[in-house]
Amino acid sequence: MSDATRTPPLGVPAARITQRIAAVTDYPAATNSVPMPAPSHAPPPSSPSGATISIAPGASRPPSNPTVQSTKPTGSFLRFPQQGSLLVSPRGAYLVHATLGSGEFGAVYEGVGPFDQVYALKMMRPANRPYVEVQAEWSKEVQRLLSVRHPNVVYIYDAFEHNSLFYLALERCDHPLKAMLGRPLQDGLTIELARQLLAAVQFLHDNDIVHDDLHPGNVLITHLDRPIVKISDFGISQELRGLPAIRPNVVHHAIMAPEILTTGFTTKQSDLYQVGLLMYWMLVGEPAIPPGMPYADLCRWVAEGEPRRRAEGIGTPLGDLIARMLRRREQFRYTTAREVWSDLRELPGWKARELFPPK
């Protein structure tokens, strides 16, 4: 998602807002004099300082502005990995292959690492932020992923720093959900994917975590004997720590729940609203919040309950259920993912399922 699609929520003081800059890729020059601390996260100690990156001849993806001096006192240079680069972690080396995807804060590469396994290597983009900020973000995502082990949450194998850049080694999934969107999915497939999503969301909520960023680029799919959902990207997720609601630092416009507009807070129900948007998109083939809408129009669209109206317009029991997930007021929505599933499993699309018959 581009910067244009993200904004600080209403009521959040400017100082608290994380500036997300996609185009600029290196640590800012202002941090060059800051000595580089060792990464604080326990499992991935700093990579050996002598580690080198080899660049394959004819590599297809030149690094963007790759030679700005890093914070390292040795005067080393930041180099983004390319095909053929070798990344070294205390747990082994990873040979970088193709680029799998990239978001505002991460570039994700396929790589072959320890035990000749294929991994997805997510590099935290410096994006013109100080070294310590990137390190803290990486550390937070690592800790979060380590703390939420669930079959429908992407698995983290390793986390390490290499040449002043921070990486996560994740299980390599086949594609993001967004690759399946653009035409309507069958009811049975929509419900099966929703079932897994809801199971993961319930698990997060039971652990007092709101994901806050459930868009189709952050829901990954692996195909075994049936598609398996893997929620990823905990970059902006937050712990509620017993509170019912929390102010997010940034929100994606395209998945903005109405309470963000009215109060500036998100809750567990905001995640359920985002799941409702995903289910609508799967079922209809188009998003309930049209992409690229000017921000003011988008606010009106959400505030006036247009996503819910669209879901009602589907005119089926599944559409009605999604409409309830997209109600503007939280008291009229489902409270938990578990509740959503107990209604969803009663629908004909699930009861008479042909795609995924009960085993």
Ligand X SMILES: Nc1ncnc2c1ncn2[C@@H]1O[C@H](COP(=O)(O)OP(=O)(O)OP(=O)(O)O)[C@@H](O)[C@H]1O
Residues that bind Mg ion (CB under 5 A): 103, 217-218, 233
What is the closest distance, in whole angstroms, from the C-beta atom of residue 349 to ligand X in the complex? 27
d(Cα 154, Cα 194) in Å, to the nearest integer? 16
Q: Does 232 bind ligand X (CB under 6 A)?
A: yes
C-beta of residue 272 within 8 angstroms of C-beta of residue 324? no
Q: Give the Cα-Cα-Cα angle 43, 49, 52 (nearest 5 degrees).
A: 105
Residue 45 DSSP one-character state: P
Instruction: Please say which residue, 173 or 204, places its beta carbon nearer to ligand X.
Output: 173
Among 66, 92, 101, 114, contact with ligand X (rule: CB under 6 A): 101
Identify the CA nearest to 229 among candidates 160, 266, 279.
279
Q: 104 touches which of ligand X, Mg ion, none (CB within 5 to 8 A by kind)?
A: ligand X
Q: Does 218 bind ligand X (CB under 6 A)?
A: yes
Among 36, 173, 200, 311, contact with ligand X (rule: CB under 6 A): 173
Instruction: Please say which residue, 94 or 105, places its beta carbon nearer to Mg ion.
Output: 105
Q: Does 144 bind ligand X (CB under 6 A)?
A: no
Ordered strands of the 86-89 beta sheet: 86-89, 92-102, 106-112, 118-124, 165-171, 156-162
DSSP string over 144-202:
HHHH---TTBPPEEEEEEETTEEEEEEEPPSEEGGGG-SSPPPHHHHHHHHHHHHHHHH
Handedness of CA 8, 14, 16, 18 (dihedral sign): positive
- Span from 39-47, 169-177, 296-304, 311-319 in contact with ligand X (CB under 6 A): 169-177
Q: 114 touches which of Mg ion, ligand X, none (CB within 5 to 8 A by kind)?
A: none
Among 27, 80, 94, 105, contact with ligand X (rule: CB under 6 A): 105
Q: Does 251 bind ligand X (CB under 6 A)?
A: no
Q: Residues near 1 by Cβ (< 8 Å), separated by ≥ 6? A: 103, 104, 215, 217, 252, 254
Among 79, 122, 129, 308, contact with ligand X (rule: CB under 6 A): 122
Name 238's bridge partners. Answer: 210
Instruction: Please say which residue, 236 or 326, places its beta carbon nearer to ligand X.
Output: 236
Q: Does 120 bind ligand X (CB under 6 A)?
A: yes
Q: 305 touches which of ligand X, Mg ion, none (CB within 5 to 8 A by kind)?
A: none
Q: Does 148 bind ligand X (CB under 6 A)?
A: no
C-beta of residue 69 within 8 angstroms of C-beta of residue 79? no
Q: Does 158 bind ligand X (CB under 6 A)?
A: no
Q: Does 277 bind ligand X (CB under 6 A)?
A: no
Q: 108 touches which of ligand X, Mg ion, none (CB within 5 to 8 A by kind)?
A: ligand X
What is the closest distance, in whole angstroms, from the C-beta atom of residue 32 to ligand X in the complex? 24
Q: Does 217 bind ligand X (CB under 6 A)?
A: yes
C-beta of residue 165 within 8 angstroms of C-beta of residue 242? no
Among 25, 85, 104, 273, contact with ligand X (rule: CB under 6 A): 104
Among 36, 78, 87, 100, contact with ligand X (rule: CB under 6 A): 100
C-beta of residue 168 within 8 angstroms of C-beta of residue 158? yes
Tokens of 120: 């997805």
What is the closest distance, in whole angstroms, from the C-beta atom of residue 157 to ligand X in the complex? 10
Amino acid identity, residue 60?
S
Instruction: Please say which residue, 187 or 212, places its beta carbon nearer to Mg ion.
Output: 212
3-state secondary structure of 344: helix
d(Cα 303, Cα 119) in Å, to the nearest integer? 41
Q: 8 touches which of Mg ion, ligand X, none (CB within 5 to 8 A by kind)?
A: none
Tokens of 70: 């890093």
Q: 137 touches which of ligand X, Mg ion, none (CB within 5 to 8 A by kind)?
A: none
Instruction: Please say which residue, 176 or 307, places its beta carbon nearer to Mg ion.
Output: 176
d(Cα 192, Cα 187) in Å, to the nearest integer? 9
> Which residues sit at the interface with ligand X, rule CB under 6 A?
1, 100-106, 108, 120, 122, 154, 170-173, 176, 213, 217-218, 220, 232-233, 235
